[in-house]
Structures are given as structure tokens and as C-alpha cells.
Amino acid sequence: MKWNLRLGITLCASVFGAALALPAAAAETLKIGLVLPMSGPFAGYGKQIEGGVRLYLKQNGDTFAGRKVVLIVKDDTGVAPEVSKRVAQELVVQDKVDILAGFGLTPSAFAVAPIATEAKKPMVVMNAATSAVTTRSNFIVRTSMTLPQITAPIASWAAKNGIHKVFTVVADYGPGQDAEAQFKKTFVAAGGEIVGEIRTPVKNPDFAPFLQKVKDTKPDAVFLFVPAGEQAVGFMKGFAERDLAKAGIKLIATGDITAETGLDAIGAPALGVVTSFHYSEAHNSPENKSFVEAWYKAYGPDRPDFMAVAGYDGMRLIAETVKKTGGSTDGDQFIDAAKGLKWMSPRGPIRIDPETRDIVQTIYIRRVEKVGEKLQNVEFDQVPDFKDPGKL
Ligand code: PHB
């Protein structure tokens, strides 16, 4: 009896000991849940962002402050906020991730923000670019850009470069609405006139009737924002096919339209298009040269674009923040430590604004040119250290 009791206690203690050891071992990993479109028309976003994230780990090692990074990628399929919400909930509740990251599209970031708040999990936004995204949760920090930030410089440039009448065409959701409002504000303040405005559907738009309307209105230029990828390529091709350039209408845009991943598919019609943006594959710096070289070495012929860089920088943000907190991913500690971080990105100098948790960076004015055998966004002017004007 006595012996049995002792055996029971011994067994119990060892089971209990093992149970105790488990959470300690689990705590050593750093689980990052990536919510990304990996299928559907926006699958390219997931590929670029995941590529950037993995490239950072490959170059810098996958252990931050003693915690080995475990990536869990969940496909949210594009503009499908209910799917983004479900997969983020699974990541928090089942996978017990420490950090939520990714977010290719604004509706996805909006849908997940309340989950980050409730679970007190840091949420690192690597693309979704509507200004208001970072205001939806105090646990959000962003490493991509905001639409007002990338739009204001092209509006100023247009007003200074002989463009007086502009027709705006934007995708009808957060980023498009931000782009339209900021373009109007900056361009009109500089003496320009808006002669027409169109908002196009976010899903499967047919640009033909819109292009005809623009052509009939005869503006000096069209200002365009549609999400990077298929839509940007479709609009540019339609612009060429309907001879808008031949009718004397210029195309100006944010650099989403001439992202490197779409440039080859657009081809010659892209030549000469002027855009404002924070990243070009042709950016001339040692940091970018080594990033681009490492990208091609890792992924072959697929070109890197701004989303790859935002994923790469997003991972650097996580690495540097966790080093500062001594390994803690507690939501409040993480966000406090991320505020004010700054470093030299492949895009140029960047920092995290402590007040808004948003990115501050240089915005470049670029023109598409042929460099060697490739179409590239060649930078020729810049606005340094530029904050999101959407929050001023
Ligand atoms: C967004 O949904 O926030 C978004 C998507 C694609 C872009 C820019 C912004 O090119």
C-alpha cells in the first residue's frame, strides 16, 4: 500500500514534470502567423511577401533573442475579409501564434485588427496600405506604405510639370478612396483641376467603358490607382489599345501600376510612365544591390517588387523588436519597442513613427525606362523622410 502510494506519487511527479517542461519548450519558439493571399488573382502578393520574409531569415538566421522562428502561412484568398478573420482566429486560438503578420489587402487588415486587439497580439502589416489601417488597433505596426504617402508626391510633380487637368480613376475601396482624396487635395491646392472621377469595382473590373469616358473627356492626364497585379496590367494594356496616349493623354500613377512583377507583361506601353513610390528594383544603393542579388539567387527569374521588400523589412522589424524586448512578444512591450526603430532598407532609409506606428520613408519620382534588357522604374527625384499625410 505504502509502496504503491509512493510509486503513484513518483509517476504523478514525472507526468507533472513533463507537462511543466512542455510550455517552457514551446515558449522558446517564436510563432509567426502569416495571413496572405496565396491563391486567386492576388496570389502574387503572397508569393512576394513570403519570399521577402524567408529571404530575411535565410540571410540573418531564424533565431531571434534565442527564440527559433516558426512560420505558419494561411491563405486568405484575396479580397475576402471573412476568410482573413477566420484564418487569423485559427492562428491565435489553435496555433497559438505570438505575432500576426502579412496582410496583402486592406479588407483583410481591417477584418483582423479587432482580433489583434482582443488577443493583444502584435500585428505587422506588410502591404495593406489604406491610411486608417494602423488606427484600427494599437497593436498594429506597418512596414509597407500608405496611399496618401505615395500619392501626394505625384500630385505635386504633375502640377509642376505642365499637367493642368486630371481625370482620376481609382479602385472603389479603401486604398483607391485614399488615393483619390489625396490626389485631389494636393493637386487642387497646387492650382490643378480635376475634370472627372471614376471608381472601378475591386473585383473583376472591365476597364473598357471607363477608358472610353476618359478619352472623350480629353484631360491632360489620368491619375490611376488600382491594386498591383492583374488589374494594373489590364488597365495599362487597355490604355494603349484604345490609343489614349496617342490622343495626347498622359498616365500618372502610384508605383503599384508599374510594379516590377507586372512590368514585363505590360511591355512597351509602360515606357515613359511617371509614378511616385517608395521602392524600385533599380534603386541605386548597396543595400538594394545585395537584396536584389540575393533575391534572384534564392528565387530564380521572378522579379522582386515592393511587397517583397515590405515582407523583408517586416521580418527585420520583428527581429529587432524581439531583440529589444529580450525575447518577449507581449503586445504592449513589442509595440513600445517597435516605435522609433529605424534602419537602411533596400528602398532607402525608413523608420517607424512612434505616434502612428506607421512607416516614414523617402518617396521617389520615377520614370519607366529600358535598362539593359529590362523595363525599370528609374528614380529621378525624391521627397525624403515623408510621413503619411493621411494622418496629419
Ligand atoms: C491594399 O489593399 O491595401 C492594397 C493592395 C494593392 C496595392 C496597394 C494597396 O498595390
Cα angle for residues 350, 352, 358 (degrees, 5° grid): 110
pLDDT in tens, 73-129: 999 999 999 999 999 999 999 999 999 999 999 999 999 999 999 999 999 999 999
CB 149 within 8 A of CB 177: no
pTM, rounded to two decimals:
0.93
Give the atom of ligand 1 at the shortest distance from the alpha carbon of 108. 2
CA of 42 to the centre of ligand 1 (A): 10
Amino acid at the residue 50 = E
172: its cell numbers: 472603389
Confidence at 28, pLDDT banded by 50, 70, 90 = confident
Q: What is the mean pLDDT of residues 318-340?
A: 98
* pLDDT greater than 90 at residue 1: no
Q: Which residues are paired to 123 by β-bridges?
A: 100, 140
How far apart CA 255 and CA 363 sit, in angstroms, is 10
Handedness of CA 210, 211, 214, 216 (dihedral sign): negative
pLDDT in tens, 229-266: 999 999 999 999 999 999 999 999 999 999 999 999 99
Q: Which among 374, 338, 323, 311 is positioned nearest to 56, based on CA atoms?
A: 311
| pLDDT for position 77 | 98
pLDDT in tens, 157-183: 999 999 999 999 999 999 999 999 999
CB 320 within 8 A of CB 311: no
| pLDDT for position 11 | 41
What residue's CA is closest to ligand 1, atom 7? Answer: 227
How far apart CA 324 and CA 342 sit, in angstroms, is 13
How far apart CA 157 and CA 168 sit, in angstroms, is 15
- Say whether 169 sits in a helix, a strand or coil: strand
Q: Is the CB of 131 under 6 A from ligand 1?
A: no
Characterise 326 by phi-psi region: left (phi > 0), alpha (psi -120 to 50), beta (else).
left
CA distances in angstroms from 392 to 148, 350, 386, 388, listed in the order given: 11, 19, 12, 7
Q: What is the mean pLDDT of residues 216-239?
A: 97
Question: Among 105, 110, 130, 260, which is best to mutate for testing ligand 1, by the most ligand atoms less than 8 A from CB?
Answer: 105
Handedness of CA 122, 133, 70, 340 (dihedral sign): negative
* pLDDT greater than 90 at residue 392: no
385: its cell numbers: 523622410
Confidence at 7, pLDDT banded by 50, 70, 90 = very low
How far apart CA 111 and CA 88 sit, in angstroms, is 9
Q: Which among 131, 140, 118, 130 is positioned nearest to 35, based on CA atoms?
A: 140
What residue's CA is closest to ligand 1, atom 8? Answer: 227
CA of 283 to the centre of ligand 1 (A): 21
Q: Is the CB of 256 under 6 A from ligand 1?
A: yes
| pLDDT for position 20 | 47
Q: Which among 93, 94, 113 is positioned nearest to 103, based on CA atoms?
A: 113
Q: Is the CB of 229 under 6 A from ligand 1?
A: no
* DSSP 8-state assignment for residue 66: T
**Percent of the chain's residues with pLDDT above 70:** 93
How far apart CA 339 and CA 89 sit, in angstroms, is 26
* DSSP 8-state assignment for residue 134: G
Q: What is the mean pLDDT of residues 218-232?
A: 97
Cα angle for residues 294, 130, 231 (degrees, 5° grid): 70
Q: What is the mean pLDDT of the chain?
A: 94
More confident residue, 280 or 26: 280
How far apart CA 370 and CA 59 sit, in angstroms, is 30
CB atoms within 10 A of CB 369: 16
